[in-house]
Structure 1
Amino acid sequence: MISVASHVVWQDVPGELVLFDQQGNAYHALDAIGSEIWRQLAAKGDIDAVIADLTERYDAPPERIAEDVRGFVATARDKGLLTDAA
């Protein structure tokens, strides 16, 4: 399970999602697919559930979707935006 770090706030704005890391005083803007992944992770906390949902909704190879979601999560973890849920 995964969760949004407690020091991160986020807001939907037209065409993207904006994150603010209060700890690092940094803004991050996500594109449409990154925004969708973020929203689903925030709601579900389950990487595999997000992958399954996106695989059902998009015409892309499941391996590619899984790779993209896992890459997104790895990058967000490295930046301290997502953490492993307790």
Structure 2
Amino acid sequence: METFSFDTEISISSELISTRLEQDTVILNLATGKYYSLEGVGSLIWQSLEAKQDLGAIQENILSSYNVSSEQSLTDMQAFLSSLADAGLISF
């Protein structure tokens, strides 16, 4: 798993379209035809990335929305971002 710092710049792939459905986010990779569905904190992180928020702001969003420690939110956020990068949805 990659480690990120709060100044890591993250870019969403230009080959994606996404939409929010209630509390979830659905992503379509136009290059591969694969769909992804994000719920809860995953959807929150994705919406924050689309808003071009930095990792510090994303962590604050998580902390204000979920009952989780700062350390746990950072660990989980790093794991989730690594999985998005492995799927080719983001790059840094």
Unaligned 5+ runs, structure 2: 1-8
Give, in whole Å, the separation in 2 of the partners of 1:45 and 1:23. Answer: 25
Identity rate, percent: 26
Aligned equivalent of 1:41: 49
Unaligned 5+ runs, structure 1: none
Runs of 4+ in 1 over 4 A off after TM superposition: none
Aligned equivalent of 1:60: 68
Equivalenced residue count is 84
Write 1 or 2 for the structure with the bigger share of strand.
Answer: 1
The normalised TM-score by structure 2 is 0.81
- Letter in structure 2 aligned against 1:83: S
Contact 1:2–1:45 under 8 Å retained in 2: no
Cα distance, 1:45 vs structure 2: 4.2
| Alignment deviations for residues 9-60 of structure 1 (CA, whole Å, 9 cap, x no partner) | 1011134110001111100000121110100112124223211332244321
Write 1 or 2 for the structure with the bigger share of helix.
Answer: 1
Distance 1:15 1:80, change over 3 A: same
The normalised TM-score by structure 1 is 0.86
TM-align CA RMSD = 1.5
